[in-house]
């Protein structure tokens, strides 16, 4: 399975709602049926002074082979307060338990 960014190759520091990050998860050759995913979240590491963050997502589209997720940034822009390269892991909830996908890098840049 793989996860990749698709709508934003990087995000601008201080980005806030209603801006969002889109992530596509594809089953590849894993044999996991992504149509059974009931929830997903992003674990984000490496943003200075923020520790590990958990970003909620909504499932936008879902098939057995692929899943499109969306995370809307917080209204204050605090999630993306400092430029850095963060590491993101997608956590999928299935009836059989949770699986982790990734990680991938997300650049937070000054404009």
- Give the mean pLDDT of the chain: 89
Q: What residue ranges define each of the domains in the chain, with the CATH number in brackets?
A: 2-105 (2.60.40.10)
Closest Cα partner for 86 from 40, 52, 41, 59? 52
Higher local confidence (pLDDT), 47 or 65: 65
Q: pLDDT tens across 75-99, in order? A: 998 888 888 889 999 999 999 999 9
- Helix, strand, or coil here: 48? coil
Predicted TM-score of the model (pTM):
0.87
DSSP state of 73: P
**Is a pLDDT exceeding 80 seen at residue 36?**
yes
């Amino acid at each position: 399975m793989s996860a990749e960014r698709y709508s934003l190759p990087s995000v601008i520091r201080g980005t806030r709602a209603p801006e969002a990050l889109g992530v596509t998860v594809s089953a590849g050759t894993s044999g996991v049926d992504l149509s059974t995913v009931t929830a997903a979240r992003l674990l984000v590491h490496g943003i200075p002074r923020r520790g590990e963050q958990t970003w909620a997502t909504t499932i936008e589209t879902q098939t057995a082979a692929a899943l499109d997720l969306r995370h809307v940034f917080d209204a204050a822009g605090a999630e993306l307060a400092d430029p850095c390269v963060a590491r993101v892991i997608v956590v999928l909830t299935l009836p059989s338990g949770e699986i982790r996908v990734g990680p991938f890098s997300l650049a937070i840049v000054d404009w």
